[in-house]
Amino acid sequence: MLIRIKTILLAILFIFASIPVTAQVKDYQEASGVLGQSDFVSKAAGTTSNTLNGPNGVAIDNATGKIFVVDRGNHRILRWSSTDALINGSAAEAVFGQTDFTSKTSGTSANQFNNPIGIFIDNDGSMWVGDFTNNRVLRFNNASTIPSGASADGVLGQPDFVSKNAGKDPNQLSGPCGIFVDFGGSLWVSEFNNHRVSRWDNAASKANGANADGVLGQPDFVTNSSGLTAAKMANPNGVYVDFGGNLWVSDYGNNRFLKFTEAKIKADGADADGVLGQPDFVTKASNTTKNGSGTTRFIWGDKFGNIYAVQENNHRILVYNKALFKGNGADADAVLGQPDYESKTILNPPTASSLNVPRAMVTDNLKNQIWVADYSNNRVLRFDIGEVEKDFPQVADNQAAASVLGQVDLVSKAAGTSATALNGPNGVGVDQETGKVFVVDRSNHRILRYSAVDALINGSAAEAVFGQADFTSKTSGISANQFNNPIGIYIDKNGSMWVGDFTNNRVLRFDNASTIPSGASADGVLGQPDFVS
């Protein structure tokens, strides 16, 4: 039941993410910033607080805006403050895996790495690291605030912090690479040497060395052979789970990207449902074309449903808009790192638009930015992307916002609980008939409704509130007129408001959402038998 409820909540998010808006990525777009180098033409490796030696992964803490970079050649993770990350060549504020910014020793302890590769920051602010040669995944709680050299709080793949044996049992790993924690708290890990993707449900609460709960790429936890079918993999590298719960895998040795729809409820060893980079599930040709692929190092996505396919030996990233709905072997919609779809040139010195063995990337869905680990250029690039709205004029790259709700101007960011303030807005819905705007104010456990006119005025007051009795309350609860961490929202064509009430494991429906008064009760519930369960 819990899995089904989480799926419903994620579906609400996916509905919102599927509105006709998409990221605007220009072919051969120039980067807007760089970390690890002082400019766009340098590429020297180093071991300091502002240099890198083979960056292999990048992650963002969405709550703090801090940037984390896997500095593989130096066996460490660097953390940049949200402000410094925007300054070319800036220094990191903290280091993990080493005691200082000049050491680069590998090791097997709770505060060391040996060839770290994958990284992910989950919704609770924990950092998960694929420690490749140590055959383990480490978890660091409160990653944005812990000091340099901090020890990990948990380990999977090994029974303790001193073991590093590879294996294929459900409590073992062999060459962990890609790391992703989905909205339900499940950890997905690609294993390069076991040719599989393993899943740990509620991973943060697992004991050290716990068994995995599921596997794809193999029929069970006793087989670890590679293959070229819809059910097999060859050295999988990157993993990504989209808002709909669909798993995407970069199948490195087969030069392709696999899609598993509703992956969490699939049986062990289930077939993939789609493929990009190849025309079918039995081909693995290496190509430099609009629909082809070379070695597939990594895969990621954004809030718009676009997929970014990182091709290491083609020195490029292909962008597939609305990838879930594309057929097998579909053409890409944009390319980064190369001037066209047939080139795979390495520029020396590099430029702001070139790549040399890209290894990983991450999207900042709040700022519409892409961060790319440009491995052989020893740098991390930032690309600022725009948006394009269907049936509307094209929006310019990095265009300034026209108005703001929740703040009095475009430079303020204080949280609050009033008719004009917000605390962690997590979703927006629009009633197409009335023009009224609805905002999910997650941390205040409420939904605010703005009139069509007020929604265009900076800092205007909401006209109604749902989930609370007034504009100054912020109590969570479980009843027909309360929420507990609301997340997703959608206003349907009949004017009903649907809300994903995350912690209450339910979806609520409010009819006539544009006209009902503050504090109104929901008219229907999905996921629970009544309004108090």
- The architecture that CATH gives domain 27-389 is 6 Propeller (2.120)
Q: Is the pLDDT of residue 7 over 80?
A: no
Question: Could you tell me the CA-to-CA distances from 61 to 6, 144, 410 in Å, in that order?
Answer: 22, 7, 22
44-58, 244-258, 400-414: least confident range: 400-414
Residue 424 pLDDT grade (very low, low, confident, very high; cuts 50, 70, 90): confident
pLDDT digits (tens, 9 = 90+) for 485-504: 998 888 888 899 999 999 99
Please state, as a whole number, how many other Cβ atoms lie within 10 Å of the Cβ of residue 409: 8
Residue 380 has phi, psi (to 5 degrees) of: -120, 125
Residue 15 has pLDDT above 50, yes or no: no
Q: Which region among 80-89, 225-234, 273-282 has the lowest average model confidence (pLDDT)?
A: 80-89
Tell me what pLDDT residue 490 has: 87
Q: Are 373 and 357 in contact (CB under 8 A)?
A: no
Is 90 exceeded by the pLDDT of residue 43? no
**Cα 115 to Cα 89: distance, rounded to the nearest angstrom:** 23
The answer to whether the beta carbons of residues 128 and 116 sit under 8 Å apart is no
Give how far the C-alpha of residue 7 lies from the chain's centroid of Cα atoms, to the nearest Å. 17
- The pLDDT, as a whole number, for residue 23 is 59
| pLDDT tier, 139 (very low <50, low <70, confident <90, very high otherwise) | very high
72-104 pLDDT tens trace:
999 999 999 987 777 888 999 999 999 999 999
The predicted pLDDT at position 283 comes to: 98
Q: Which CATH number fits domain 425-526: 3.40.50.2000, 2.40.10.500, 1.20.1260.10, 3.40.50.360?
A: 2.40.10.500
Q: Is the pLDDT of residue 392 over 60?
A: no
Mean pLDDT of all residues in 508-518:
94
Question: pLDDT class for 19, splitting at 50, 70, 90?
Answer: very low
Beta bridge partners of 35: 380
Lowest mean pLDDT among 372-376, 434-438, 463-467: 434-438
Average pLDDT over residues 319-343: 93
Q: Which of 10-19, 125-134, 410-419, 501-510 has the highest mean pLDDT?
A: 125-134
Cα angle, residue 20 at apex, residues 508 and 330 outer, rounded to 5°:
115
Residues 483 and 447: their CA atoms lie apart, in Å, by 9
Instruction: Check pLDDT > 70 for residue 69.
Output: yes
- What was the pLDDT predicted at 527? 87
Give the pLDDT band of residue 456 (cuts 50, 70, 90): low
Contacts of 394 (CB under 8 A, 6+ apart): 24, 386, 388
Percentage helix, strand, coil, to 5, in the chain?
10, 30, 60
pLDDT average, residue stretch 352-371: 87
Range list of β-strands (E), 110-185:
116-121, 127-131, 136-140, 154-156, 176-181
Q: How confident is the model at residue 455 (pLDDT cuts 50, 70, 90)?
A: low
Asked if the domains at 27-389 and 425-526 fall in one CATH topology, the answer is no
Domain residue spans in the chain?
27-389, 425-526
User: Given this model, what pLDDT does residue 523 score?
Assistant: 94
391: pLDDT strictly greater than 50: no
Average pLDDT over the chain, rounded to whole? 88
> What pLDDT is recorded for position 386?
65
- pLDDT > 90 fraction of the chain, expressed in percent and rounded: 65
